[in-house]
Amino acid sequence: MSDVPKDIRLVVISGLSGSGKSCVIKSFEDLGFFCVDNLPSQLLHQFAELCKESSNTISHAAIGIDIRERTFLLDFLKIYDELIQKGYHMELLFMEARDEVLQRRFSESRRPHPLAGEGSVTDGILLERTSLAHLRRRADRVIDTSDLHVHALKEVITQYYLGSGQARQFNISLTSFGYKFGVPYELDLLFDVRFLKNPHFIDQLRPLTGNDEPVQQYVLGLQETQVFLDKIYDLLDFLLPLYQKEGKSYLTIGIGCTGGKHRSVALVNQVESYLRQKELTVQCRHRDVESDQ
C-alpha cells in the first residue's frame, strides 16, 4: 500500500520554448497551486517527498521542467514513472505552438532559442520539437497556444484544472469556433455545423451573434438543427458514462461553423444547457464570437 496521501496532485508542465509555459505557471498559481519553475529533474523526487511531508499545506503543485535543464531528457521520464509507481498522482501537461508562431514570439522578444546555438531560431525549434517528441506522446494533455492570447490561455487552464483536487470530478469544456480561424487543437470531440443555413447572409442577423435571441430563433428553428441536436444528445448520453467509467476527468467538445459567430455559438449554448440539466460540471467558451468576419 502506498503511503502517499490521495489528495496530493503534481502537475508537471513542459513543452516547447516560447509556447507559454511561464504564463501557465502563473495561471496555476492563481488557482492555488504551489508552483516551482525550472526545477532540475533530479530534484523531482525530493520535491514530491516534500509535498508528502507537507500535505496539509502543499497538496497541489505545478512544476515547470523543460529543455533549459540540460539533463532533463536523460532523467525526467524515469523519475516520473518511479513517482507514479510510488503512488503519486502525476500529470504531464505539454505546451506547444506552430513553428511560425514560435518564430514570431522569439522575434518579438528578441531572445535566443535555448537550442539554436550558432544556428537560427528555426533550427532551434526543429531540434527541440524532435527532441521532445517522445515526451509529447506521454503527455496527459497537450495544449497548442498558437491561437490563444494570455487571458484565453489562463481561461483554458482554469477550465481544465479548477476544482482539480476532486480527482473523480468530470469536467466538460464546450468551445464554439470558426473554421476560418483554425480548429482548436485540444478538442476530444469535434462537430462541424457548416451544413446549417448561415445567418451571416441575412442582413438583420449578420451583426448579431448566437448569444442573441433572433439568431437563436433562426438557427434553432431549422428542422436540421433539431435533428442534429437530438443526435448529439444521444451520443453524449452514450459516451459520457463510458468516459467516466474509464477514469477520464475531462472532456473537451468543439462545435464549429464558418466564422464562429452564429451557428456554433447558438448550438454550444444549447448543449451547455442540456448538460447542466444533468448536473454536470460544464465550462463554455466562445472563442471567435468577437473576431472580425
Q: What's the rounded Cα separation, in Å, for the pair 189 and 166?
A: 23
In sequence order, the β-bridge partners of residue 34 are 61
Q: Provide the pLDDT for residue 160.
A: 81
Query: At which of 103, 138, 161 does a domain end?
Result: 161
Q: Provide the pLDDT for residue 65.
A: 85
> Is there a domain that residue 166 lies in?
no
Domain of residue 253 covers 171-286
Q: Are residues 238 and 154 in the same domain?
A: no
**Alpha-carbon separation of residue 274 from 219, 241, 258, 271 (angstroms):** 17, 15, 24, 5
Condensed to tens digits (0 to 9), the pLDDT of residues 98-148 reads 999 999 988 888 788 877 777 888 888 998 899 889 889 999 999 999 988
Q: What's the rounded Cα separation, in Å, for the pair 236 and 253?
A: 10
Q: What is the mean pLDDT of residues 204-213?
A: 95
> Is there a domain that residue 90 lies in?
yes
Q: Mention every residue, 6+ apart, whose C-beta is less than 8 A from residue 201.
A: none
> Is there a domain that residue 56 lies in?
yes
> Is there a domain that residue 291 lies in?
no
Q: What's the rounded Cα separation, in Å, for the pair 183 and 185?
A: 6
Q: What's the rounded Cα separation, in Å, for the pair 128 and 117?
A: 12
Q: Provide the pLDDT for residue 150.
A: 82
Q: Does position 164 have pLDDT exceeding 70, yes or no? A: no
Are 90 and 40 within 8 A, CB to CB?
Answer: no
Q: Are residues 80 and 210 in the same domain?
A: no
Three-state helix/strand/coil letters over 61-90: EEEECCCCCCCHHHHHHHHHHHHHHCCCEE
Q: Are residues 138 and 193 in the same domain?
A: no
Q: Are residues 37 and 150 in the same domain?
A: yes
Counting the structural domains of the chain, the total is 2
**How many Cβ atoms from other residues are within 10 Å of residue 266's Cβ?**
27
- Predicted confidence band of residue 166 (pLDDT cuts 50, 70, 90): very low
C-alpha triplet 280, 286, 292: angle, nearest 5°: 175
Characterize 221-244 residue by residue with b for buried, 16 or more Cβ atoms within 10 angstroms of its Cβ, and e for exposed: eeeebeebeeebeeebeeebeebe
> Is there a domain that residue 4 lies in?
no
Mean pLDDT of all residues in the chain? 86
Question: pLDDT over 70 for what percent of the chain?
Answer: 90
Q: Are residues 209 and 157 in the same domain?
A: no
Q: Mention every residue, 6+ apart, whose C-beta is less than 8 A from residue 230.
A: none
Give the largest CA-CA distance in the chain. Answer: 66
Are 246 and 191 within 8 A, CB to CB?
Answer: no
Q: Are residues 146 and 189 in the same domain?
A: no
Condensed to tens digits (0 to 9), the pLDDT of residues 259-292 reads 999 999 999 999 999 999 988 889 899 999 987 6
Condensed to tens digits (0 to 9), the pLDDT of residues 226-266 reads 999 999 999 999 999 888 776 566 789 999 999 999 999 99
Q: Does position 196 have pLDDT exceeding 50, yes or no? A: yes
Q: Mention every residue, 6+ apart, whose C-beta is less than 8 A from residue 23.
A: 150, 153, 154
Are 41 and 75 within 8 A, CB to CB?
Answer: yes
- Identify the CA nearest to 33 among candidates 14, 5, 13: 13
Condensed to tens digits (0 to 9), the pLDDT of residues 3-17 reads 676 667 899 999 998
E strand or H helix at 225: helix 223-245
Which CATH number is 54's domain given?
3.40.50.300
Are 102 and 21 within 8 A, CB to CB?
Answer: no
